[in-house]
Structure formats: structure tokens, C-alpha cells
């Protein structure tokens, strides 16, 4: 076992599998919450491609990445943290922490539902809790599509998945968009 593998296993053991709904601070046996220990920068980077790196090396074990992803939070200042019941450490995110790698649709028109799956196997339906948004780069006019996975955490929609959305799109009030869960999400101009 390499020292890098040992370090990441140690980090994983700190997180454990306490669930995604971990409280932002720990509760001691006596009841009151104690403040989180701030571990500073964890030297974890999530690349634009969705690949997670630890000390510059890709984390190759998908279950480990999924464990870290369940504990990922975004603070009001825009910084990303892995938060356990007792500790938190900062994570560097190049674009969005996740990538929507698959989409499928059920139904048609306003009754249509768009189902997404991310690179860490989060599955959800676009709608009020998971809106789709598209920004456009001023210099290149290239679209950057995203879908909200959970509060504060978005997935960049992969190019191939965005092509599916364009194929499923319809025009409404001068905009191309897709329906999901009764909402119309604009994705661009015709």
C-alpha cells in the first residue's frame, strides 16, 4: 500500500459512512453541539471533467469518490467542503463538483420528466428541486449547461447529454427549452 493510498484511506475512515444528512456540527454524549474542527485545505481537487484528485493523483475508486461526494457541501461564500459530524475540510472545484453523464425522458410535452444520472450515480428528475440552467460565454457564445443536484451543488451537463436536450427541445416564446416535471427550462435561442 502506497503512502498516498494510506492517506486517502485515513481520510475515508474519518468520514465513515454517517450518511449524507450529517449535521454541520457534532453532538456530544451530553447533548450540546460542539463546533466543527476546521481541517483547512484537504488537497482534494475536482477537475472540470468530474475527476477527483487527492494530492495531485486521481482517486480511482468510485465508491470512495461517491462517499466523499455524499459529504460535499457548498458554503454561502461559494467554497466547497467535505463535512463530517466532527470535521470539515476545503475542496477545490474547477467548475461544478459533478457531471451529468446520462439523461433519459419519460412522457411528452408538459408531462415529460427528464431523468439525470451523475458521475457519482446520483439519480433525480429535473424540476423545482433540480432546475436546469444554461449560461453562455460572452466571448465564444458557447453554452454551459448545469442541473442542480442538491442545494448548492450542481452538475455540469456533459456535451453529449446537452445534445440530447437540444434534440428534445421545443420552441416557446422565442426560446428553445425542455419540459420536465411541469416546468419549462430554456436552454438557448433557436
What is the DSSP secondary-structure string of 69-110? HHTEEE-TTS-EEEE-SSEEEEEEESS-SEEEEEEEEES-GG
Q: How far is CA 55 from the centre of its chain?
A: 21
Tell me what the pLDDT averaged over the chain comes to: 88
pLDDT of residue 12: 64
**Topology of domain 3-93, CATH:** duf1285 like fold (3.10.540)
| Least confident residue range of 85-89, 90-94, 138-142, 177-181 | 138-142
pLDDT of residue 99: 98
Q: Does domain 98-188 have CATH number 2.30.270.10?
A: yes
pTM, two decimal places: 0.82
pLDDT of residue 21: 41
Tell me which residue of 82, 162, 94 sits closest to 126, measured CA to CA. Answer: 162
DSSP state letter for 47: -
DSSP H helical ranges for the chain: 3-15, 62-70, 159-168
> Any idea where the domains of the chain sit in the sequence?
3-93, 98-188
pLDDT of residue 19: 43
Instruction: Encode 138-158: b = buried (16+ Cβ within 10 Å), e = exposed.
Output: eeeeeeebbbbbbeebbbbbb
pLDDT tens for each residue of 110-169: 999 999 999 999 999 999 999 999 998 888 888 999 999 999 999 999 999 999 999 999
Amino acid at each position: 500500500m502506497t503512502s498516498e493510498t494510506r492517506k486517502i484511506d485515513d481520510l475515508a475512515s474519518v468520514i465513515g459512512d454517517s450518511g449524507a444528512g450529517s449535521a454541520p456540527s457534532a453532538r456530544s454524549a451530553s447533548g450540546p453541539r460542539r463546533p466543527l474542527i476546521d481541517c483547512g485545505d484537504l488537497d482534494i481537487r475536482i477537475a472540470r471533467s468530474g475527476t477527483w484528485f487527492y494530492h495531485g493523483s486521481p482517486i480511482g475508486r468510485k465508491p470512495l469518490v461517491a462517499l466523499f461526494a455524499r459529504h460535499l457541501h457548498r458554503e454561502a461564500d461559494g467554497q466547497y467542503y467535505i463535512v463530517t459530524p466532527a470535521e470539515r475540510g476545503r475542496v477545490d472545484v474547477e467548475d461544478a463538483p459533478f457531471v451529468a453523464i446520462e439523461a433519459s425522458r419519460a412522457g411528452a410535452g408538459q408531462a415529460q420528466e427528464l431523468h439525470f444520472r451523475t458521475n457519482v450515480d446520483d439519480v433525480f428528475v429535473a424540476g423545482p428541486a433540480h432546475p436546469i440552467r444554461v449560461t453562455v460565454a460572452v466571448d465564444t457564445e458557447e453554452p454551459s449547461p448545469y442541473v442542480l443536484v442538491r442545494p448548492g451543488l450542481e452538475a455540469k451537463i456533459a456535451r453529449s447529454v446537452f445534445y440530447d436536450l437540444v434534440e428534445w427541445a421545443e420552441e416557446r416564446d422565442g426560446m428553445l427549452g425542455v419540459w420536465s416535471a411541469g416546468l419549462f427550462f430554456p436552454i438557448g435561442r433557436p
